[in-house]
Amino acid sequence: SLAPEYLMYGKVTDKLDVYSFGVVLLELLSGRKPIEPSKAQESLVIWGKPKLKSRKLKEVIDPMLEEGSFEECQMRRMILAAALCLTRSPRLRPNMSQILRLLKG
């Protein structure tokens, strides 16, 4: 999944990397691929954005992860970071140093 501004205007900026990092975070959290061949019309970002906004762990995290096998607080930080990285407007996306601070807690 590519950032909206790249698809629309071909613009490459540091905020493009932030968006891509959000996609990677969402992959890690959910255990899903960016594009599932069986669900050609639904990209990971389209699937994940509403779930990230709701911040309900069980809707986002990989169902293969056993409860208690992860730190809930860290997962919540990762969900928030992914949601911020995937903000549609590049101007409203944080920079990577802000995301790093968020993930460190």
The domain that holds 94 is classified in CATH as 1.10.510.10
Please check the confidence at residue 48 and state whether its pLDDT lies above 80: yes
Q: What is the four-CA torsion angle of 87, 42, 28, 71, rounded to 10 degrees?
A: 80
Sign of the alpha-carbon dihedral angle for 55, 76, 94, 24: negative
> What phi and psi values does residue 43 have, to the nearest 5 degrees?
-75, 165
What is the number of domains present in the chain? 1
Residues whose CB falls within 8 Å of the CB of residue 103, separated by 6 or more in sequence, listed in order: 77, 78, 81
* Overall average pLDDT of the 87-98 stretch: 96
**Segments forming the whole domain that contains residue 38:** 4-104
* Overall average pLDDT of the 70-76 stretch: 91
- Fill in the amino acid letter for 99: I
Kindly state the percentage of the chain with pLDDT values over 90. 60
On average, the pLDDT of the chain sits at: 89
Q: pLDDT per residue over 16-41, tens digit each? A: 999 999 999 999 999 998 777 766 66
